[in-house]
Amino acid sequence: MFKFDSAFAGLAWAADYAYNQEQEDEERLAKFYQAVCGTSYQLQMACGKLTYTYTLDSGEVVKVPVELSDVDTVVKVLERVRQDKEVDLKGAQIIVAGGYGVGSKENFKLIRELAEALGGEVGASRAAVDAGWISHDYQIGQTGVTVRPRLYICAGISGSIQHRAGMTESKKIIAINTDPNAPIFSCAHYAIVGDLNQVIPQMIKAFKAKA
C-alpha cells in the first residue's frame, strides 16, 4: 500500500488506466500520482485490479478574482424580443384565404382587402406559404391550423386533401377558381368559376356598398 498526493481527477483516470491496461506496477503508478498532486489518497492493488479509498486533507478555500473581457464571451444577448402571433385563425368567424393561384406576394393585397371589408381574417394554403408570400401563422390545413368559421372564402386554392382537412367544417364555403374541376369545389357551398383578379374587386365593391 502506498500513500501519496493526487487530484481526484488524476486518481479516477489512473485507476481506469491501470484496470484496462492490466497495469500492476505500483511503483510506476505511485510516481504518476506524485506528479499530479492535490489531495492525500491511499491506494491498494489487489487481484490484478485497482481498488482505492481516498481521504481529503483539511484545506483552505481561496477566492480567485476572475475578469472576463468581450473576447472571452462566445454569445452576448443584446435584446430579448417577444413577438405575438399576428392572427388567431381558430377563433375567426370570417376567413378569406388565398392559395398559389393568387399569383404573387403583391397580389395577396386583394385577399387582405376582401378580409378587411368583411371584418375577417386572412388565411392561406400551404403552397402560398411555401412560396414565401405569407407567414406560416396563416396556414390552414393538416400542417397548419384547423378552422371552423361561419364564412370561409378561398381564392386560388385548388383544394388538396391536406387543405380541405383544415376547413371543411366551415359553416359556409365560397370557392373562387379558374378551374371548374378544382377539388375545392367538392366541399364548397358556392362555386365561382372565374379569375380572382376580377371577381374579388367586384365582391369588395358590393360588400362596401351594402355596408
- Phi, psi at 96, each rounded to 5°: -115, 115
By the 8 A CB rule, do 156 and 189 touch?
Answer: no
pLDDT digits (tens, 9 = 90+) for 57-102: 556 777 778 777 766 666 777 777 665 556 789 999 999 999 999 9
Q: Which amino acid type is present at position 15?
A: A
Alpha carbons 164 and 52: distance in angstroms, whole number: 69
By the 8 A CB rule, do 195 and 170 touch?
Answer: no
**Using alpha carbons only, what angle is made at residue 114 by residues 125 and 200, rounded to the nearest 5 degrees?**
85
**Model confidence, pTM:** 0.60
Please tell me the CATH superfamily of domain 89-210, with its number: TPP-binding domain (3.40.50.1220)
Alpha carbons 155 and 194: distance in angstroms, whole number: 10
Q: Where in the chain are the domains? A: 2-58, 89-210
Residue with cell 500492476: 24
DSSP code, position 56: P
pLDDT digits (tens, 9 = 90+) for 111-166: 999 999 999 999 999 999 999 999 999 999 999 999 999 999 999 999 999 999 99
